């Protein structure tokens, strides 16, 4: 079996460190890893695969030695500058930033949902937004059978989605310090404000979910609305998803569709207090679905509660799964 070379850009960040953990668990046929970061974190040592790896400063020549794949988790500016350089050296980039997601020739991929799109890349494959990733698994499972007409998203997003600064803000404001990352003390409020506000009154995060869902499901005219809220939870995003279908459904059949779809675990026994929780999703790669019930206010309507680890399945694990598909 061929052995591959993999570069990790942003190796010391929250997502980068999680990607290293996932790579240790998945045991892909990678013969050589190299870890890259910005200048401030260069020369650090990271324990990985039982050894100490030096972390190198990323520059224009970092990809000269030749890599098969690279995972970028260092923010949009880094991806915009260095991903094309990597591609020019015949390296396939899986990018966690939002920079390339909506470009027509860049596939936006969740492997359980649209794996066929992986192979139509021109060197860059985009990882979707963390909130989009967990949503599209149950949506795809049900769209295959009932054809989705409209979606209403309400998200409850953990502070880890804002990186280390978001985590620090929760801890600091719990101890009475002023917030630095968020506009208000996240320890005291749910904040209906993720990323910047746009001219249409939506936040950039909300529009990401809308546009990315349409692209991944290949339904450019799908009616979607979204409200994204930051909540004082350390990790794992929760989402209330209201769906209206073109076709009627039987609730028991809906549950079977979800149970049989790869990457989904159904937890739906409300009478026994069994439903997805952030705490239970932490450290897992699956998407947990529960509170499955009819929306009795509309014909062919359904409500779901969807929870997943936004750092693992919402970023790191999804990226590694894409590389696994490329190898296999």
Express each pLDDT in 2-46 by its tens digit.
Answer: 889 999 999 999 999 999 999 999 999 999 999 999 777 677 889
DSSP 179: P
Q: Element (H or E) spanning 323, and its range?
A: helix 317-327
Cα 131 to Cα 229, 307, 317, 326: the distances in Å are 11, 9, 14, 24
pLDDT of residue 153: 98
**DSSP notation for 188-233:** T--B---S-B-TTS-BHHHHHHHHHHHHHHT-TT-EEEEEEEE-S-
Residues 6+ apart with CB under 8 A from 75: 10, 97
- Residue 241: per-residue pLDDT: 99
Residue 4 parent element (H or E): strand 4-9
- pLDDT score, position 78: 95
Is residue 87 classed exposed, middle or buried when 0-12, 13-18 and 19+ CB atoms within 10 A define those classes?
middle
What are the mean pLDDT values of the chain's consecutive 10-residue runs (328 residues total)?
Answer: 92 95 95 89 84 94 97 96 98 97 97 97 97 98 98 98 96 97 98 98 98 98 98 98 98 98 98 98 98 98 98 98 95
Residue with tokens 């499901």: 217
The one-character DSSP state at 153 is E
- pLDDT tens digit string along 160-175? 999 999 999 999 999 9
Q: Which domains does the chain have, with CATH numbers?
A: 4-128+315-327 (3.40.50.720), 131-310 (3.30.360.10)
Q: Are 319 and 127 in contact (CB under 8 A)?
A: yes
| 49 burial via Cβ count (<10 Å: 0-12, 13-18, 19+) | exposed
Catalytic site positions: 130, 237
- Residue 245 and residue 32: Cα distance in Å, rounded? 47
Alpha helices by DSSP H, 112-201: 130-146, 163-174
Q: Is 272 helix (H, G, I), strand (E, B) or coil?
A: helix
Distances (CA, A) of 9 to 21, 75, 101, 118, 258: 15, 10, 18, 20, 35
**pLDDT given at position 44:** 81
Q: What is the pTM of this model?
A: 0.96
């Amino acid at each position: 079996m061929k052995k591959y070379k993999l570069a990790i850009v942003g190796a010391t960040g929250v997502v980068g460190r999680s990607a290293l953990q996932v790579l240790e668990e998945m045991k892909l046929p990678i013969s050589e890893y190299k870890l890259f970061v910005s200048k401030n974190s260069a020369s650090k040592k990271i324990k990985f695969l039982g050894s100490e790896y030096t972390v190198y400063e990323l520059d224009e020549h970092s990809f000269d030695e030749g890599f098969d794949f690279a995972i970028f988790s260092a923010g949009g500016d880094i991806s915009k500058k260095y991903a094309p350089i990597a591609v020019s050296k015949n390296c396939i980039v899986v990018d966690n930033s939002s920079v390339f997601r909506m470009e027509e020739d860049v596939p936006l991929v969740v492997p359980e949902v649209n794996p066929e799109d992986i192979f139509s890349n021109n060197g860059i494959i985009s990882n979707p937004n963390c909130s989009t990733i967990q949503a599209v698994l149950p949506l795809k499972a049900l769209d295959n059978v009932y054809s989705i007409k409209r979606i209403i998203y309400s998200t409850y997003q953990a502070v880890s989605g804002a990186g280390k600064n978001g985590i620090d803000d929760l801890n600091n404001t719990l101890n009475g310090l002023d917030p630095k990352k968020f506009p208000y003390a996240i320890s005291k409020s749910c904040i209906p404000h993720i990323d910047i506000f746009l001219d249409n009154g939506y936040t950039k995060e909300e529009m990401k979910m809308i546009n990315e869902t349409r692209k991944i499901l290949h339904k450019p005219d799908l009616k979607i609305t979204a409200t994204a809220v930051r909540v004082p939870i350390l990790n794992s995003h929760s989402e209330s998803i209201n769906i209206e279908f073109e076709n009627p459904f039987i609730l028991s059949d809906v549950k079977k569709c979800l149970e049989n779809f790869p990457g989904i675990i159904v937890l739906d026994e409300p009478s026994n207090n069994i439903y997805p929780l952030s705490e239970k999703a932490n450290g897992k790669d699956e998407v947990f679905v529960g509170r499955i019930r009819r929306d009795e206010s509309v014909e062919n309507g359904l409500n779901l509660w969807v929870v997943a680890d936004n750092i693992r399945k919402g970023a790191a694990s999804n990226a590694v799964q894409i590389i696994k598909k490329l190898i296999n």
